[in-house]
Amino acid sequence: MDSLPCKGCKGLCCGPVPINIKELKNIKKKIKEMPFKKRLELENQHRYYGTCIFYDLDNDLCGIHGVRPSICRAFGHYNNLICFKKPEASKGLNWDVPEKPIGILSEDFTWKDFK
Ligand code: SF4
Ligand code: SF4
């Protein structure tokens, strides 16, 4: 897969995303295992309204990268998930949700659901 020039975007494309039950469980586990100080820092960052609750602004990366939802992994590589900075990274296909979502991260699931 083509790599994307994400450094410096500061979460430009990281907004509310659909998640399925397995993804929710994985994120819960990851947050629970996070050192308390790190978790608190991540939770209390001042993001723009609409930016994903797990975007790590201080470090300019996804705060839950290893367990990020499938749509985040697919972003930039499909026609319906095009990267604004590198549109040519799209494979020309449309991405389809692999499993039924149970809600939207950052809207239906917020920090209070991960404690
Ligand atoms: S996928 Fe594209 S728009 Fe999103 S952070 Fe990376 S380079 Fe920026
Ligand atoms: S889970 Fe990570 S990659 Fe996905 S929208 Fe949130 S910060 Fe971005």
**8-39 pLDDT, tens digit each:** 999 989 999 999 999 999 999 999 999 999 99
- Cα of 68 vs centre of ligand 2, distance in Å, is 6
Average the pLDDT over 31-51 and give the result: 96
Nearest CA to ligand 2 atom 1: 68
Using a cut of 0.85, tell me whether the model's pTM lies above it. Answer: yes
In a domain, 35, yes or no: yes
Nearest CA to ligand 2 atom 8: 14
Please state the domain count of the chain. 1
Instruction: Give the residue carrying structure tokens 């790590």.
Output: 56
Beta bridge partners of 78: 81
Beta bridge partners of 10: none
CB–CB of 110/34 below 8 Å? no
- Which tokens in the block code for residue 85? 């900075």
Quick check: 60 pLDDT over 80? yes
| Domain around 37 | 17-110
pLDDT for res 8: 92
In a domain, 7, yes or no: no
Pocket test for ligand 2, best of 27, 57, 62 (most atoms within 8 A of CB): 62
pLDDT for res 33: 97
